[in-house]
Chains A and B, each alone.
Chain A
Amino acid sequence: MKILIKNATIVNADNIFEADILTANTRIVKVAKDITPPEPVDEVIDAKGKHVFPGFIDLHTHLRTPGREDEEDFLTGSQAAAAGGFTKIFCMPNTLPSIDNEGLAKWIFEESQKIGIVDIYPVGAITKNREGKELTEFGALRRVGCLSVSDDGVSLPDSLILRRALEYAKMIDILVVEHCEDLRLANKGAMRESFISSKYGVSAIPDIAESLIVARNIEMAKYLNTRIHLAHISTAKSVEFVKRAKNEGVKVTAETCPHYFMLTVDDIEENSFDARFKVNPPLGEKKDVEKIREALRDGVIDCIATDHAPHSHAEKELPFEDAPFGLIGLEFAFSLTYTHLVKAGILDLKEIANKLSANPAKIVGLSHCGVIQEGFIADIVIADLNRQWIIQEDKIRSKSKNTPFIGYQLYGVVEKTIHKGKIVFNEL
């Protein structure tokens, strides 16, 4: 399959330029002005007035398969990803059973290939059954293609297992992704400890439940001189720790999610404790949102992930305290970032290609991805930045509809997503 994209405004992490793009099979074969293909192509796309990004990469997704296929499966998850401009997604191992062995990981790779909409990379568990006791076979996981491991949903419970995991991962060359939360301190809280939690008596999680573990993880990575990736950073205090560590040269990378640069505890109160606003880490204060935005601008936070976490309607209808954590994000991350960070003047447009494509590829070690460049994988997103759309529940492709952003009017419509040289999403 050959596709020729004409008159594109290409947005890469380091530059924006006008050119045509020619793909052949799975690769980008030429990026140049006024390409005249030597032989006929299957599809010519006129991208005049549109912006063309490298396919987005989500390091943090939950696809609920195996175990909760009623909430999401590989097909609906892939469709939601492609509609949001994502071409590679990393699904977390908090499944039933958890992805803690090569067999399950291999099966996910195979299913993903069969569906063929996006590439699904299983994230292996760090410990068996995510119990925080025994390490999984990082070597076997790496051999079938896993690039990262995580016990997402919980932190590693003690410093010794963290040390062993990081040391061993260094040998295997696999990325350790840590969910940062002191579980004892979080004490089954449902929201951020704040004025609002006190006012309504809601059991709450203090912000240091995150930053304490962030600090621990940084110290450990520094001590072992190895890399670590911190999942969904949400507090101002965590940002301070990451910033200092980066200045010291610690090999730490960090992600955040759109809801952490958008929403605060006040939104929970304003929406009468609608459980769609319940997420872990919990929504913070205004100062946290400001700090997260600043950290994205300054590069302290490397990338934006979705933490796409589908939950059934019935589960999210439970009282706020009893409902599960999580919200979906694959379909909205790009437009939220564009509208609320780029259009708001906090990030340069190139930073979208950086935070959603180039940096995630670099962090996880995906080669020939994340940039529109000759010889690279033909993962391409064509978007119209001038068009607006409104998030509507009945238009959501994900099997679950749990997002706090229903009714939001956003700029930036993903019109086409090309994955490995094939059009996998066509909005028009």
Chain B
Amino acid sequence: MEQWTKKHILGIKDLSRDEIETVFNLAASFKEISQREVKKVPALRGKTVLNLFFENSTRTRTSFELAAKRLSGDVVNFSVSTSSLAKEESIIDTIKNLETYHPDIMIIRIESSTSLHTLTKYTQASIVNAGDGRNEHPTQALLDMFTVKEVRGNVENLNVLIVGDIMHSRVARSNIFGFQRFGGKVTVCGPSTLIPYEFQNLGVKISYDFDKAIEDADVVIMLRIQKERQTSCFFPTMREYLDRFALTPERLRRAKKDVIIMHPGPINWDIEISSSLKEQVHPLILKQAENGLAVRMAVLYLVGTQKRELVEVE
């Protein structure tokens, strides 16, 4: 690829295979920086990076913050709960306000699944999606795929199984779009109440049988399950959920030998994954986190060093 043209990273939906590969190649180079004595390069020197978190998150925020710092960007964290925002100031007003500081990149995590595109109209900065509602979490999918590529040597044409609360998961959506770009066959597996019927139009296979679905999988992504889904009647009890959708040693034995088990974290041990599998699966899940940093550096580098053309801001 000669030039990077995407100003914003809003979702995997909008990225081509070429663009995703560019991120992978860069991330591979960027991993080395974190191993240096001086863990810093001047690529984003003088750039202002706003880490805007309208929803709680420590891991993703820290990962992005560190990524920007390793590239010498000036990072400012801005965390607010949307509930207090809704009363006093709209998100658009917040963006307009922050725009007066002339930021170069806004990393945004937000509860709404639908707002990021609109927000691009109110800032000159590049917007990087750090998770928007149930829509997408593009850097998570990029780091998941990058990890698979690192472990297997390729990400092409894989059978990918995503297990858990599909309906409410932005990680699931981004990974579906991502692996499909590389010819992957994605199967989603979970309680029928947590898989939107319309998902089959996304070209995924729907399965309610984890035991069977795991047999063909090259990659299994376990999603975090939220306890409040039980109280809202998506499944009867946690016990029954675990019985069907937890990753246990017995289930893992049915899988291919070289299956890759991933989890976006934080893991509820003995809920999504049996703690007896800890030694076996945890190292790779930690590697995901490490790769997350490199992938986020790559993304920030690509949007942050772009030639700026002034756009009309509303």
Contact = CB atoms under 8 A, between A and B. Distances in A.
Interface string A172-208: 0000000000000000000001110111111100000
A202 B114 CA distance: 8
Contact of B133 (A194, A198, A314, A321): A321
Q: Which of B117, B173, B196 has the most CB of A within 10 A?
A: B196
Interface string B128-169: 000001110000000000000000000000000000000111
A198 B113 contact: no
B114 A321 contact: yes
B133 A322 contact: no
Contacts of B202: 195, 198-199
Interface of B: 13, 86, 90-92, 110-115, 117-118, 133-135, 167-170, 173, 196-199, 201-202
A272 B118 contact: yes
Nearest to A187: B232
A318 B133 CA distance: 14
B310 to A, nearest CB: 21
B289 to A, nearest CB: 24
B47 to A, nearest CB: 26
B114 A195 contact: no
A317 interface: yes
A294 interface: no
A56 interface: no
A109 interface: no
A35 to B, nearest CB: 55
A198 B91 contact: no
A379 B197 CA distance: 50
24 contacts: A193-B196, A195-B201, A195-B202, A197-B196, A198-B198, A198-B201, A199-B173, A199-B202, A200-B135, A200-B173, A201-B113, A201-B173, A202-B113, A202-B133, A272-B118, A273-B118, A317-B92, A318-B86, A318-B91, A319-B110, A319-B112, A321-B111, A321-B114, A321-B133
Q: How large is the interface on A (under 10, 10 to 19, 20 to 34, 35 or more residues)?
A: 20 to 34
A320 interface: yes
Contacts of A273: 114-115, 117-118
Given A274-B118, A317-B90, A194 B198 contact: yes
Contacts of A318: 86, 90-91
Contact of B198 (A197, A272, A320): A197
Interface string A199-232: 1111100000000000000000000000000000
Interface of A: 193-195, 197-203, 272-274, 314, 317-322
Nearest to A274: B118
Given A199-B13, A199-B202, A319-B112, 15 more contacts: A195-B198, A197-B196, A198-B198, A198-B199, A199-B173, A200-B113, A201-B167, A202-B135, A272-B117, A272-B118, A273-B114, A314-B90, A319-B91, A319-B110, A319-B111
B86 A322 contact: yes
A160 B33 CA distance: 70
